[in-house]
Structure 1
């Protein structure tokens, strides 16, 4: 998928709410009222009061606190990050830096319009 298409697919998250967070043995799953993103790379939650990264103390609570929030923009920068901003200025970001890959892919996103999906 080219850079424009990957950026476009994540634009579909704008206006959606984060409806659920699932913790699976080796990855996380974020669902946005339809689209879903499976994440194997480090994920960081930035709020007004804290910044925590995957599996640090307080991470689960910080990530689950995002449930029900509405996405403002979501951006994809190849080799850098998938960044999801919420209307309250909190941010969830997934590292896409090559040094942070823990498996063949950092993210697998599916459930977008026109059966769209994405792997990075």
Structure 2
């Protein structure tokens, strides 16, 4: 099983932190920092950074659990939440504004993952 997948599945999103040019998702103490703004899809809607309802769509994921996660190296990171919504972040180099697409810091076993 993928390291990220095993670390994040079953975790509850406890907070969303919007910073000037990135977003942090906190899962029961573990922190996923996304330097590439994620997309949220739910039902027939897709929310992208800057679109109306984007912040609300991210915030609605609070208290939801990650049911399934997938990492496709160099392509995409995605998480299916208990609400049925899917959050995905591009790992493609062309979509980055810096060196890293994102990082994950787990409290258990001091796990650290960098997508670059």
Identify whether the pair has TM-score above 0.5, normalized to the shorter chain.
Answer: yes
Runs of 4+ in 1 over 4 A off after TM superposition: none
Q: Which moved more, 1:8-17 or 1:95-104?
A: 8-17
Structure 2 contact 47–57 (Cα < 8 Å) conserved: yes
2:113 pairs with 1:118: yes
RMSD, matched Cα: 1.4
- The gaps in structure 2 that reach 5 residues or longer are none
Q: Separation in 1 of the partners of 2:52 and 2:4?
A: 32
Q: Separation in 2 of the partners of 1:25 and 1:32?
A: 21
Partner of 1:62: 57
Q: Separation in 1 of the partners of 2:38 and 2:4?
A: 19
Name the TM-score, length of structure 2 as normaliser. 0.92
Partner of 2:99: 104
- The gaps in structure 1 that reach 5 residues or longer are none
- Select the residue among 23, 35, 55 that pairs with 1:28: 23
Name the TM-score, length of structure 1 as normaliser. 0.89
CA-to-partner distance for each residue in 1:3-60, whole Å, 9 max, x for gaps? x7xx223322111111100001111000000211111113100112521112222100
Q: Separation in 2 of the partners of 1:39 and 1:55?
A: 15
